[in-house]
Structure 1
């Protein structure tokens, strides 16, 4: 059984900190975007929320904010997990980009960039743990993209 480490708590703490500073901009950095771009951003945010919702429903009792897999957990590779190894992270990032564009907020785009970096390292750590826990994870890792289908 894998136990949570300092890294688990650090990743989650940084994530929630970034969520807070995303929600409450400290420095206004505006963008000048046409209305069309803003509404495309809103559409991206909506689709991304649907992806997150589907992934959350699929995880069900496997859900945890921590990268370390739950002792009672199972490996899920179907549904949205068949096109993204980390669809919740992908959905959060898509929502953050979309909402930043919709609100014409350069500040929020910058924070989203920090979230991309955080989710990359958090997911790398998580994947190492998943490979230890589930022998089938290596094949899944090679077949499915990290955030986007076969792209990243």
Structure 2
């Protein structure tokens, strides 16, 4: 059951990202050069942050929110800033796609992605607390998606 839920969450996350890339463009705001530039900056920055998160995990990296058994707890690099840099990067990248898309459907898909990743992060963190005795202290000092925001209560 746990693995099925993990697979469903990962699939939903990729479907929402795909929707952000493929939804028809809207007219909520004009998409001029400054908007395109901002969207590219956000998409690239988000992708870089997500990749840094993936590289930082090393042997603990898994596509599933279920932590690998006996994998080390990573608290350095981008993980020293936020606990979920891969999710943060996906949200930032998605926001860039929203800017380009300029539609209500892009906003809805992005909000659904944010809510999905927030729920996924909370579930993942409960498992990490059970797996790593030091996770609670780490969570009390590092924000969930943004530095200083969403820290765990000590």
Q: TM-score category by the smaller chain?
A: 0.7 to 0.9
Partner in structure 1 of residue 29 of structure 2: 32
**Consecutive unaligned residues in structure 1, runs of 5 or more:** none
**Alpha carbon RMSD of aligned pairs, Å?**
2.0
Matches within 5 A, 1:42-121: 42-121=40-119
CA distance in 1, matches of 2:36, 2:103: 10
Query: What whole-Å deviation, never above 9, does each CA across 1:90-132 have from its counterpart, x for those lacking one?
Result: 0010001012213434432321110000001000000000000
Range 89-98 or range 58-67, more displaced: 58-67
Deviation at 1:59, TM superposition (A): 1.3
Partner in structure 2 of residue 7 of structure 1: 5
**Consecutive unaligned residues in structure 2, runs of 5 or more:** none
Deviation at 1:72, TM superposition (A): 3.7
What is the total number of aligned residue pairs between the two structures?
149
TM-score (norm 1): 0.87
Deviation at 1:42, TM superposition (A): 1.6
Runs of 4+ in 1 over 4 A off after TM superposition: none
Partner in structure 1 of residue 146 of structure 2: 148
